[in-house]
C-alpha cells in the first residue's frame, strides 16, 4: 500500500493545555501521525483549579493578552503539516496560542486545527484562520468534554484519515 497525503509529510502538533484535555487530543494525533509535539508553556500559567482559572483565562483572551512563553524546542518552519490545538476560552483560543501567533510567522503551511470545549465553540476556528492567513487550513476538529473517551479517539483517527484524502 502506498501512503500519501499527510501521513508522509513531516508533521508537528502545537498545543496549549491547562487541564489535559487538549494534551490528550494532541498526543493522540502525534501518536497516530508519528508527529513531533510542541507544547506552548507560559512562564506563568493561570491556576489549573477553581474559579480563578475561568476568570483569569477568560480575561487574558478578552484583553488579547500574550503571556511570555518558555523557549520553543521545535521550529515550525521545518514542518510540512502543522496541527494547532487549544481549549476554547471566552469563545476563542487560549492566550498562550495568541502569544505563539505573535512570536512566529507561519506561511505556506498545511494546517489542521483542533479544540476542546465544554459546550461552545464560539469563534475559535474563525479566530484561528485570521491568524493563519497565507496558509492552507485543511481541517477542523472539535472535541466536547469529556474528551478522554474511546469514541473521541476513533473520531480523531477518522478525522486524520479525512485529512489524508486531501493530500
pLDDT in tens, 148-159: 899 999 999 999
Residue 140 in grid coordinates: 477542523
Q: How many CB atoms lie within 10 A of CB 95?
A: 27
Which of 20-24, 50-54, 65-69, 150-154 bottoms out in mean pLDDT, i.e. has the lowest?
A: 50-54
CATH architecture of 5-164: 3-Layer(aba) Sandwich (3.40)
- Domain borders along the chain are 5-164
Question: Is-contact 82 139, C-beta < 8 A?
Answer: no
Residue 162, helix vs strand vs coil: helix
Q: What is the mean pLDDT of residues 8-32?
A: 94
**Does the predicted model carry a pTM greater than 0.95?**
no
Output the CA torsion 52→58→59→63 (10° steps): 160
Percent of the chain clearing pLDDT 90 (strictly above): 73
Tell which residue, 102, 99, 128, has the closest CA to residue 113.
128
At residue 153, the pLDDT reads 93
| Cα 67 to Cα 96: distance, rounded to the nearest angstrom | 6
State mean pLDDT over 53-70. Answer: 82
Cis peptide before 146, with omega less than 30 degrees from 0?
A: yes
Residue-level pLDDT at 1: 34
H helices, E strands: number in the chain: 5, 6
Amino acid at each position: 500500500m502506498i501512503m500519501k497525503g499527510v501521513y508522509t509529510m513531516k508533521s508537528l502538533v502545537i498545543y496549549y493545555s491547562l487541564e489535559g484535555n487538549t494534551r490528550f487530543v494532541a498526543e493522540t494525533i502525534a501518536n497516530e501521525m508519528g508527529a513531533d509535539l510542541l507544547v506552548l508553556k507560559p512562564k506563568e500559567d493561570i491556576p489549573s483549579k477553581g474559579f480563578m482559572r475561568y476568570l483569569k483565562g477568560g480575561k487574558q483572551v478578552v484583553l488579547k493578552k500574550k503571556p511570555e512563553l518558555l523557549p520553543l524546542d521545535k521550529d515550525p518552519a521545518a514542518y510540512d503539516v502543522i496541527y494547532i490545538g487549544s481549549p476554547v476560552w471566552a469563545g476563542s483560543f487560549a492566550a498562550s496560542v495568541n502569544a505563539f501567533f505573535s512570536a512566529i510567522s507561519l506561511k505556506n503551511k498545511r494546517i489542521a486545527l483542533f479544540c476542546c470545549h465544554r459546550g461552545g465553540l464560539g469563534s475559535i476556528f474563525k479566530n484561528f484562520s485570521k491568524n493563519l492567513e497565507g496558509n492552507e487550513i485543511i481541517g477542523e476538529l472539535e472535541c466536547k468534554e469529556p474528551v478522554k473517551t474511546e469514541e473521541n479517539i476513533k473520531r480523531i483517527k477518522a478525522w486524520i484519515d479525512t485529512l489524508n484524502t486531501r493530500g
